Amino acid sequence: MLKVEDLNVYYGAIHAIKGISLEVEEGQIVTLIGANGAGKTTTLRTISGLNKAKSGQITFKGKSINSVPAQDIMAMGISQVPEGRRVFANMTVLENLELGAYLRKDKNGIKKDMDRVFLKFPRLFERIKQQAGTLSGGEQQMLAMGRALMSKPKLLLLDEPSMGLAPLLVQEIFSIIKELNQEGTTILLVEQNAHMALSIAHQAYVLETGRIVLSGDAKELASRPEISEAYLGGAVGH
């Protein structure tokens, strides 16, 4: 579904992404793990058209999206839940969700997806008229995910969904990610909590200072000593 080949991205003079290649098959959860500053967010932002690649190729469903504007990439079916949630604080929960569907014209479909979001995140329904800025961190994460789902994505990009959340909420968010995938949404997950990410992903890539240093089956990577030392030891979740 998504193919990234030999991607290079710069921030000014800084070579942030150094020739990475990765693939996301339809129906999979693929995770990108790595320390802070490894280039995980930059990779997602480049896929969704917010950053421009210096060189390399990004293909979605067989079409190159390198020079496609971000809003058109979203219309093609790629939706991103940004790091730090970024909900519209002064708008209500309902208005945030409606914004997620702003490119859609199918009123019945929108209504159906709204119901589905409330089924997945009952707490959002309870706070439907509340301003998003007054929600807890966990609720804002649910809202950011719900808003992305309202665009009916074929591929959902999740950037650090567990960041700053209490362990119980992390469990809840991850079980919802797994459910969404089982219901047919393909997911590319960027996550510092490597342990959680590897436990639900099919494939994994390990990013270090802009390069992919390891990749393969997520369960197999989770059991490798160098991974558990670097990413699953005391540093997990901090």
Across all residues in the chain, what is the average pLDDT? Answer: 92
**pTM, entire model:** 0.90
Query: Do 46 and 80 contact (CB within 8 A), yes or no?
Result: no
Residues of each domain in the chain carrying CATH 3.40.50.300: 1-77+154-238
Task: Tell me the average pLDDT across 76-94.
Answer: 91
Q: pLDDT per residue over 128-187, tens digit each?
A: 999 999 999 899 999 999 999 999 999 999 999 998 888 888 999 999 999 999 999 999
Q: pLDDT per residue over 14-62, tens digit each?
A: 999 999 999 999 999 999 999 888 999 999 999 999 999 999 999 999 9
* pLDDT for position 238: 34
**56: its two tokens:** 């390399």
Q: What's the pLDDT band for 86 if we cut at 50, 70, 90?
A: confident
CATH topology of domain 1-77+154-238: Rossmann fold (3.40.50)
